[in-house]
Amino acid sequence: MAVIDVNGRIKTTVGAPTGAKYVVLSYHPGLPYERVLTAGSNIVITDEGANAGVQVAATLPDHTHAADDGGQLDWDEIFSDAVHDHSSDAEGGALIDLDGAADALVLSEDGNDTISAPNDGQIDIEVGGTDRAVVDGEGITVNDRIVEAVWVDYPLYDTANALGITSHWRDNDGSYPDGWTELDAANDANTNDVYSFWTLKGSNVETSWDYRRQNSMDLETVADWVSVQIGPCMLRDGDFAADIDYYFGVYPDDGGIDTTIYSRVHLWWDSANSLWKIRGEEHDGSTGHDSSWVTLDQDPLQPFYMRAAVTGAAGKTTRQYYGASYITNTQTLLQSQAPSSAPTWGQFWVRLHQSRGAGVSDALIIGSIDYIASA
């Protein structure tokens, strides 16, 4: 290009340097070092024409979720391979529906850390390929141990509910627990005076109560010990004017509960001496054996546990225990007794009953019933 100064003289000729590194929209043979602006992945270049602009825009390609179930979201790739339009159920919508799939929400690269809801009313949290926490109607269980927000419960031994009766009394209502039969009503029986406890009250008017429930295990098919435990238990503190007797035990099935045969714990308020006493009792329907009374403090250590055991092996030996802990090997053996004649237990029953005399109201408060596959 010629440049003319103010006097009209040609001074020099100026041209664009051909050795420069230009960025252009298309190749030109006179520019050996040019670079062409090229759209990469997810980039669109629009030439708007002479004396206008060049528009460079970034886009994300469509990402498809499986219809109706929310698909699977891979958060590692959400900005590299997906446009997530959640405007409809088929695209997940406002709701990501994992539809009960196991390990549905994967949090780690190796796929071993997940959150899922494989069953209605249950959420599983898996870490390192192992379920570490489960949230369900029973509360929060971490590493097979229940963690309670409203009450601290010891874990149950019978997590599989092998007897069909194991319970922390979560009914939380004004009646006795679901599944039990009320043969003789207490003055008050509820599971909402204290959350996760079954409260049984006697009075001057209601001087007895009786509740029982059949388990789902046939003792004749078991060659080892079966024991049933209640606790933690608490008693009303009162210097009662008349005797009070609490009984907890297991009884055989004979087309219904046979109350003449049992392995049970007997807790007695001896009003004449103002003392609590406890013993183990066994009866085969004809002959009975009772341990000596163990005297407790006037106000016994609370809470406490009571446990009745029987073996399915020949002889049907029975045992009864009392202790301040749910840990079985810390409990006191009240009696170990083989019956004079080994009865047939079948699909045995669990029974709680009470009798008392006149006077102020009493209360027995029970935290759980549990099955332990040992003596």
Q: What is the DSSP string of 238-276?
A: ---SS-EEEEEEEE-BSSSB-TTEEEEEEEEEETTTTEE
Please name the residues in contact with 253: beta carbons below 8 A apart, sequence gap of 6 or more.
214, 345, 346, 347, 348, 349
Query: Using CA atoms, how far apart are residues 142 and 160, in angstroms rounded to an integer?
Result: 16
Query: Strand runs (DSSP E) across 128-178, as ranges?
Result: 130-136, 139-142, 145-147
Among the residues of the chain, which ranges form H helices? none
* Mean pLDDT over each residue of the chain, to the nearest integer: 84
Do the strands 23-24 and 35-36 form a parallel or antiparallel pair, or are they unpaired? Answer: parallel
Q: Which residues contact 9 (CB under 8 A, 6 or more apart)?
A: none
- Report pLDDT for 254: 94
Residue 352 sits at φ, ψ, to 5 deg, of -125, 125
Task: Give the long-range contacts of residues 25-34, CB within 8 A, separation 24 or more.
Answer: 25/54
Q: 288-312: string of b/e by CB count within 10 Å (b at 16+)?
A: eeebeeeebeeebeebbbbbbbbbb
CB 363 within 8 A of CB 148: no
More confident residue, 88 or 324: 324
Share of the chain above pLDDT 90, in %: 50
- The C-alpha atoms of residue 139 and residue 122 are separated, in whole angstroms, by 10
Identify the structural domains of the chain with CATH numbers, from first to last.
18-58 (no CATH), 181-372 (2.60.120.200)
Residue 36: per-residue pLDDT: 87
Confidence (pLDDT) at 16: 67
Tokens of 115: 């959150």
Residue 170: both structure tokens together: 């979560």
Segment 26-35 mean pLDDT: 83
- The confidence band for 81, taking pLDDT boundaries of 50, 70 and 90, is very low
Cα separation, 264 vs 288, in Å, equals 11
Residue 326 confidence (pLDDT) above 70 = yes
What pLDDT, on the 0 to 100 scale, is given for residue 20?
81
Residues 197-225 pLDDT 10s: 999 999 999 999 999 999 999 999 998 99
Cα distances (Å, whole numbers) of residue 131 to 28, 304, 363: 65, 32, 40
Q: Given this model, what pLDDT does residue 67 score?
A: 45
Helix (H) or strand (E) holding 23: strand 23-24
pTM of the entire structure? 0.65
Q: Phi, psi (5° rounding) for residue 349?
A: -110, 155
Query: Of 204, 199, 265, 259, whose CA–CA distance to 235 is shortest?
Result: 199
